[in-house]
Amino acid sequence: MTLTPEQIALRRTGITATDAAAILGVHPHRRPIDVWLDKRGESACEESPRMRWGTLLEPVVLQDWCHRHEAWAVPGSSLGTWVGDGDQAWMVATPDAVVVVDRSPGAVRAGPARLLEIKTHSAYARAGADYGTEDGDLPAYVEAQVRWQMAAAVVAPSPLPAASLTGDLSLDVAHVCALIDGLPVDVTIERDAAIEDEMRRRCKEWYERHHPLAGGEAPDPDGSEAYDGWLRGRPATQPPRPATAGERELVTEIRRLSAAATSLEQRIALARQRLALSIGEAHGIQIGVRANGKPEIVHYGPRKGSPAWKAIAEQLAEVVWATPADHLPAVIEAHRAPTTRVLRVGGTREAP
């Protein structure tokens, strides 16, 4: 769903479903520092082609879901952004759609209305993002988003347009439809008030401490690249100053850990060299039997060298019009690095 500038501004005043997943540490791409920067208007996130296609496909997925379930729907563009009432105004949600599946005989758009969350994914999502066919079998960040929308609907004064549905919004369950590699996967999630209360508690603590409209302080370091990026972008305008006791302790800790990491890397390299030397000319060794009955092998076999694509491109730039296509493989092989052996221990691929 495409958000209007007014919706974007409104969402920045509180905690949204996407924010909640990041604050709780279950979002695959966002961290609390990303939420904080977005609330300050400093986020540089741009719409990717995948995000744009997800937005374009959302109405199609919604139409198909309604067709398959014989349901009515109110799209998110008609629902707007939900904001909690009173002291819950920091809870914000922008649902994809509300649907009515159980229609009363002879009635139009009657019956309990329920939330529908729409996702679009590549073919890798089912294996890598925990989508399944059982009820509630969802990636953690999607579950967090849906539960936050259910919680926000409770505190929103009027979540449904008066003329859209004749029934009330029911929050006993919510629906999720994920379009994975062109095919829909439907999942139903039951409401859990205890989980909602815990999410609300943790997100409220974050809001009161970090949101610009409340505490405003930066989130705690989390070791992420996003946090590193924010730190690198901070200006240095003052000369060096005396260190505090806490800073001296951190310097000591960093030096200690760095030395330990260097020592560990050296020990790993030494052990790998000893193992490779012991294996000798064999392609590997069997160290046991897996649970499925197959042998567990530590491989020490050849790996073909990578082509030097820059050198290939320079040569082809001169002769591409005169070189037949069947000569190209020979050009590539002439610029390929030598074949080397690679020791694979526990899934690693580093050469000894």
Question: Could you identify the residue written with the tokens 């221990």?
Answer: 345
pLDDT at 341 over 90: no
Residue-wise pLDDT for 37-61, tens only, equals 999 998 766 777 888 888 899 999 9
* pLDDT at position 219 over 70: yes
Per-domain boundaries in the chain: 5-232, 281-344
Mark 212-234 as b/e (b = at least 16 C-beta within 10 Å).
eeeeeebbeeeeeebbeebeeee
Nearest residue to 2 (alpha-carbon basis) of 44, 79, 56, 82: 56
Q: What is the mean pLDDT of residues 209-230?
A: 93
Residue pair 201/209 in contact by the 8 Å Cβ criterion = no
Q: Contact at 8 Å (CB) between 189 and 135?
A: yes
SS3 308: coil
CA atoms within a 13 Å half-sphere pointing along the CA-CB vector of 322 = 4
3-state SS, residue 254: helix
Which residue type is seen at 276?
A: A
pTM: 0.75
pLDDT at 139 over 60: yes
Crossing angle, helix 225-232 and helix 32-39, to 10 degrees?
A: 40
Instruction: Assess if CATH 3.20.20.70 describes domain 5-232.
Output: no
Average pLDDT of the residues in 222-244: 92
Q: How many CA atoms lie within 13 A of 131 on its CB side?
A: 23
Q: How confident is the model at residue 39, as a pLDDT?
A: 95
Identify the weakest region by mean pLDDT among 60-74, 178-192, 288-302, 318-332: 318-332
CA distance 58 to 205: 33
Structure confidence at residue 102 as a pLDDT band (50, 70, 90): low
**Average pLDDT over all residues of the chain:** 85
- DSSP symbols for 17-66: HHHHHHHTT--SS--HHHHHHHHTT-------HHHHHHHHHHHHHHHHHH
pLDDT exceeds 80 at position 305? no
How far is the C-alpha of 208 from the C-alpha of 213, rounded, in Å?
8
Q: How far is CA 323 from CA 35, 186, 334, in A?
A: 54, 53, 15
Confidence of residue 136 (pLDDT cuts 50, 70, 90): low
Residue 203 confidence (pLDDT) = 97
| pLDDT > 90? residue 130 | no
Q: What are phi and psi of 286, to 5 degrees?
A: -95, 125
Task: Report the sign of the C-alpha dihedral through residues 64, 65, 66, 72, in that order.
Answer: negative
Contact 58, 118 (CB under 8 A): yes
What's the pLDDT score for residue 352? Answer: 41
Per residue in 190-199, pLDDT tens? 999 999 999 9
